[in-house]
A and B are shown apart, each in its own frame.
Chain A
């Protein structure tokens, strides 16, 4: 739990990359999934994506998996248990934020 707390809060970019890796994907797949999930709002540049994937691997939140197709040049990634734990923690945190904001706004009648 402490490890998860240290990794939070995630940037928007990192959060989206992490949730797209609940299933195995290569870098380009992640990019397309994030565009879809964010309703065309977040277009990741390759420099940003490459750095983010590397950071996530170093933090133990995702791991590269062996490609079945040995001829493929592309590395495929998948989320780890730690990564899943972090997503759950972030969802709780974001919900708390949204809830507090909503409650206080409605009290003020906005």
Chain B
């Protein structure tokens, strides 16, 4: 899905990346920057870009729960070290830095902290999934006086649930890989 609203200076691109596609999302945003379209806001299913000079920018995403009074410290630390804070979407924080030879382009530089990021994400996904399982079970068993649901609704729920469970599996695999790296 790729719908584009465009004028001279700004453009909105409707696009979906799912949690296990961080790398793909980063590559796409980098390509956009190389074409002179720099991300300035992320929203539900869409990205907003501003036209500027083409630049090779590296994009990185952090997943975190941050209390609003700590947000300033968090962003300041990134900005001090050459990262630009762009936008936030849910628990995701978007940053970018210019690609330069010999400069660090990772926001996580050891496995222990990388592991923590994905564990936080996994817990979030599990918390999101449990109620869906509950609702779907109710629909399927037509528990007590719940009215019979139409097939499309049940199918939609099954789809959402499958997506969530698939996400949990993908993130669990990332976690396993990091754990293996730590042991080696």
Residue B73 at the chain A interface, CB threshold 8 Å: yes
Residue B112 at the chain A interface, CB threshold 8 Å: yes
Which residues of B, 67-124, contact A by the 8 Å Cβ criterion?
Answer: 72-74, 76-78, 80-81, 83, 95, 104, 106-110, 112-114, 116-117
The answer to whether A27 touches B77, judged by C-beta atoms less than 8 angstroms apart, is yes
Residue B62 at the chain A interface, CB threshold 8 Å: yes
Q: How many A-B residue pairs have CB under 8 A?
A: 61
The answer to whether B80 touches A45, judged by C-beta atoms less than 8 angstroms apart, is no
Q: Interface on B for A, CB 8 Å cutoff? A: 60, 62, 72-74, 76-78, 80-81, 83, 95, 104, 106-110, 112-114, 116-117
Residue A88 at the chain B interface, CB threshold 8 Å: no
The answer to whether A11 touches B110, judged by C-beta atoms less than 8 angstroms apart, is yes
Residue A108 at the chain B interface, CB threshold 8 Å: no
In Å, the complex CA distance between A91 and B113 comes to 23
Please give the distance in Å from A28's CB to the nearest CB on chain B. Answer: 4
| 5 A-B pairs with the lowest CB-CB distances in the bound complex, closest first | A47-B107, A28-B80, A45-B109, A48-B113, A27-B77
Contact residues in A for B108 (Cβ distance below 8 Å): 45, 47-48
In Å, the complex CA distance between A51 and B65 comes to 11
| 26 sampled A-B residue pairs with Cβ under 8 A | A12-B110, A13-B112, A26-B80, A28-B77, A31-B80, A42-B109, A45-B106, A45-B113, A46-B81, A46-B95, A47-B60, A47-B107, A47-B113, A47-B117, A48-B107, A48-B108, A48-B109, A48-B113, A49-B77, A49-B81, A50-B74, A50-B77, A51-B113, A74-B73, A74-B76, A74-B80
The answer to whether A46 touches B72, judged by C-beta atoms less than 8 angstroms apart, is no
Majority SS of interface residues in chain A? helix
Please give the distance in Å from B100's CB to the nearest CB on chain A. Answer: 13
Please give the distance in Å from B32's CB to the nearest CB on chain A. Answer: 23
Contact status of A46 and B116, CB under 8 A, knowing A13-B110, A75-B73: no
